[in-house]
Amino acid sequence: MRKFDLSPFFVFLIPVFIGCSHIESKSFAQDSRPPAVLSSFLVATVQYPMEGGLSAPAFIRKVESFVREAKNRKAKLVVFPELIALDSWPVDSKDPEAVIVSKIADQITPAFFRAIERMSREYDLAILAGSAPRRVGSKLRNTALLAMPDGKKFTHDKVFLTAWERKMGWEAGNEITPFDAPWGKTVLLICYDSEFPVMAEALARAKPEVLLIPSMTETAAGLQRVRWSAQARAVELHAYVIVSGTVGKVGGDWFHFGQNSFITPRDRLFPESPIEGVLGAPGIVMGSIDIVRLRKSREETEFFPARDQRGREVKVNPTW
Measured torsion, CA atoms of residues 105, 111, 113, 117, in degrees rounded to the nearest 10: 170
Query: Taking 90 as the threshold, does the pLDDT of residue 296 lie above it?
Result: yes
> For the ranges 40-44, 90-94, 127-131, 140-144, which has the lowest average pLDDT?
90-94
Q: Determine contact, residues 264/270, Cβ cutoff 8 Å.
A: yes
pLDDT value of position 39: 66
Residue 236's pLDDT is 96
Distance CA 6, CA 255 (A): 12
3-state class of 202 per DSSP?
A: helix
Instruction: Tell me the pLDDT band of 35, cut-offs 50, 70 and 90.
Output: low
Question: Is 191 a residue whose pLDDT tops 70?
Answer: yes
Task: Report the C-alpha gap between 132 and 123 in whole angstroms.
Answer: 22
Instruction: Give the model's pLDDT for residue 235.
Output: 95
The residue with greater pLDDT, 13 or 266, is: 266
pLDDT greater at residue 24 or residue 96 = 96
* Residues 242, 281 contacting (CB under 8 angstroms): no
* Model confidence band, residue 25 (pLDDT cutoffs 50, 70, 90): low
The residues that bridge with 142 in the sheet, in sequence order, are 133
pTM value? 0.88
Percent of the chain's residues with pLDDT above 90: 77
pLDDT of 250: 84
Residues 313, 126: Cα–Cα separation, whole Å: 39
pLDDT at 157 over 60: yes
Q: Check residues 260 and 13 and name the one with the higher pLDDT.
A: 260
- 38-308 fold: Nitrilase/N-carbamoyl-D-aminoacid amidohydrolase (3.60.110)
**Given a cut of 80, is residue 11 above it in pLDDT?**
no
Of all residues in the chain, what percent carry a pLDDT higher than 70? 88
What lies within 8 Å, CB to CB, of 84 at 6+ separation is 48, 50, 63, 129, 130, 131, 132, 246
Mean pLDDT of the chain: 89
pLDDT at 249: 86
Q: Is the pLDDT of residue 308 over 90?
A: no
Selection from 174, 173, 62 nearest residue 119 by Cα: 62
How confident is residue 158, by pLDDT bands cut at 50, 70 and 90? very high
Q: What is the Cα–Cα distance from 191 to 178, expressed in whole angstroms?
A: 17
Q: Are 289 and 181 in contact (CB under 8 A)?
A: no
**pLDDT category of residue 313 using cuts at 50, 70 and 90:** confident
Residue 294 has pLDDT above 60, yes or no: yes
